[in-house]
Structure 1
Amino acid sequence: MLRSMYSGISGMKNFQTKLDVIGNNIANVNTYGFKKGRVTFKDAISQSISGASGPVQGGRGGTNPTQVGLGSTLATIDTVDTQSSMQTTGRTLDLAIDGDGYFTVKDGAGNIFYTRAGNFYLDEDGSLVTGDGFYVQQLKGNTLENIKIDSNVYASFSINSAGKIIAINKDNTQPNLEVDIALTKFNNASGLTKVGGNMFQKSENSGDPQNGIAGTDGFGSVNAGYLEMSNVDLSEEFTEMIVAQRGFQANTRIITTSDEILQELINLKR
């Protein structure tokens, strides 16, 4: 009975974690480029009452092991890295990736981050930045570089499906500016570490970053005037919430039932 009580406690803790992840998913249902989380469980260790035995020639047959499980534990909290639908904005600097890859950005200290949220802006210096002021990177040879579109030099610019920014000189002289927005992909994108602010960073299990441009070597295309929406499905999240709530309630019943049995044992001595 004490074993069943602690099994119930482990189940309650796990379903609480599941509710935490569901709550975060729902809170980010309208966050551009957000990738939802998913919780999986596994059984904990089992206490062996007796081991297995093989059959004996001329005697009895084999027997299976006798074990009592001691509850459940958290297996994984996955990042579900699936493509989401796109929202039309009509804004030139709103970019959405259709397919694999992440936009690559740097902070002022040179730290590299990756994001699927493509709501970008031009700062006072003409640098292409995120809402938090991180510099969007271009692929120029083998070194990543900041993107700068100086309004004093260029009259207009556009972005095509290959993620190329084409800026036209004010005096119509050549060459015009052509910049390839850098995309980065990973062997295991689900292994990236979430660091907040719609940003990811490389982890030990994500694989090394592979830099490229849209439309080449398996990189996705870039759609200007669109933003990728969150891949959270509210109907799925609410269903999972019901499952988690009922699972939590069922585990509380294990504890209360075990307590009632212990109370009956105590009442044997009156």
Structure 2
Amino acid sequence: MSIAALQVARTGLDAQSERMRVIANNLANVNTTGFQRDRAEFATLAYQMMTAPGARSSAENQYAVGLNVGTGVRMTGTGRVTTAGTIQNSSNPLDLAIEGDGYFRIARPDGTVGYTRAGNFHLSNEGKLVTGDGLPLQPEIQIPDGAQSVTIGSDGTVSVTLQGQSEAQQVGQIEISRFINPAGLQAVGNNLYIETASSGSAQTGAAGAEGRGAIRQGALEGSNVNVVQELVDMIETQRAYEVNSKMISATDEMLRNANQQL
């Protein structure tokens, strides 16, 4: 049984180590635009049933509770917290924030579509709206050369005013995608998520319609990481790791005493 206790404590060390890694990633991305924090989720491992509850202890009696011994814990996944971060104004007209549910659509190099909450866009050398990595927004938005101003409405309508003209002209519309289960999106790095069977299919359309959030120009959404909460979780994880380490030391001492006595 003592050897089994070592195994149980080892699973606890592994689980808390993985949780600390999740917390570290959250804190590392505290200033990442549109970042959504992860939460470590755990589940018990299989139980060893020595005596089933209700089994006969004698011809006339039965066990009330039985004997069921756990074998440890494992981390089952990382649930993403999809609450919105704080929106802050900026002086850049190409900075966009989504007020509500939804993601911007980004064309990935392999031809697939990625989704992001990070709206810090730039102009490419061809005048297209792109991410910091040069990935184009979908559908593509082309800003004409010599545009004096760029105006993006809450519904995603993009208008520009050209030199020598008094009236603005529409050059495209930014679409927003939402998902039934946004936590089911798979993070692939570079602030991008991809669709999975768990997230459901993207419901794409104009911003501000059918449950999709509205677009706010000249603003960026910060990460939803709460530093104080992450520090509290970090201390809790550290304490749990230490307790599991002490469990291994105590079990080892018990085995040593047993070997000396027998």
CA contact (8 A) 2:153 2:216 kept: yes
Aligned to 1:267: 260
Aligned to 1:68: 69
Aligned alpha-carbon RMSD (Å): 2.0
Secondary structure class of the residue paired with 1:30: coil
Aligned to 2:207: 214
Aligned to 2:119: 118
Q: CA deviation at 1:64?
A: 2.4
CA distance in 2, matches of 1:230, 1:53: 52
Q: 2:249 aligns with which of 241, 256, 266?
A: 256
CA distance in 2, matches of 1:161, 1:174: 19
CA contact (8 A) 2:143 2:171 kept: no
CA distance in 2, matches of 1:54, 1:266: 35
1:15 aligns with 2:8: no
CA contact (8 A) 1:100 1:185 kept: yes
Q: CA deviation at 1:60?
A: 3.1
CA contact (8 A) 2:141 2:173 kept: no
Q: 1:146 aligns with which of 113, 117, 140?
A: 140
Secondary structure class of the residue paired with 1:146: coil
Aligned residues: 260
Q: Which deviates more from structure 2 when the two are superposed, residues 79-88 or residues 45-54? A: 45-54
Identity %: 33
Q: 1:187 aligns with which of 176, 180, 183?
A: 180
TM normalised by structure 1 equals 0.91
Q: CA deviation at 1:171?
A: 4.7
The one-character-per-residue Cα deviations of 1:14-71 (angstroms, maximum 9, x if unpaired) are: 0000000000000000000101111011111111111122689x94355322111111
Letter aligned with residue 150 of structure 1: P
Q: CA deviation at 1:110?
A: 2.7
Letter aligned with residue 45 of structure 1: A
1:198 aligns with 2:198: no
Alignment of 1:48-87 (within 5 A): 48-53=49-54, 59-60=60-61, 63-87=64-88
CA contact (8 A) 2:97 2:219 kept: yes
CA distance in 2, matches of 1:253, 1:54: 36
CA distance in 2, matches of 1:174, 1:38: 49
Secondary structure class of the residue paired with 2:68: strand
Q: CA deviation at 1:224?
A: 0.8
Q: CA deviation at 1:174?
A: 7.7
Letter aligned with residue 134 of structure 1: L
CA contact (8 A) 1:168 1:177 kept: no
Aligned to 1:34: 35
CA contact (8 A) 2:53 2:63 kept: yes
Unmatched tracts of structure 2, length 5 or more: none
Q: CA deviation at 1:209?
A: 0.8
Aligned to 1:164: 157
CA distance in 2, matches of 1:155, 1:18: 50
Letter aligned with residue 31 of structure 1: T
Unmatched tracts of structure 1, length 5 or more: 138-144
Q: 1:246 aligns with which of 218, 223, 239?
A: 239
CA distance in 2, matches of 1:54, 1:23: 47
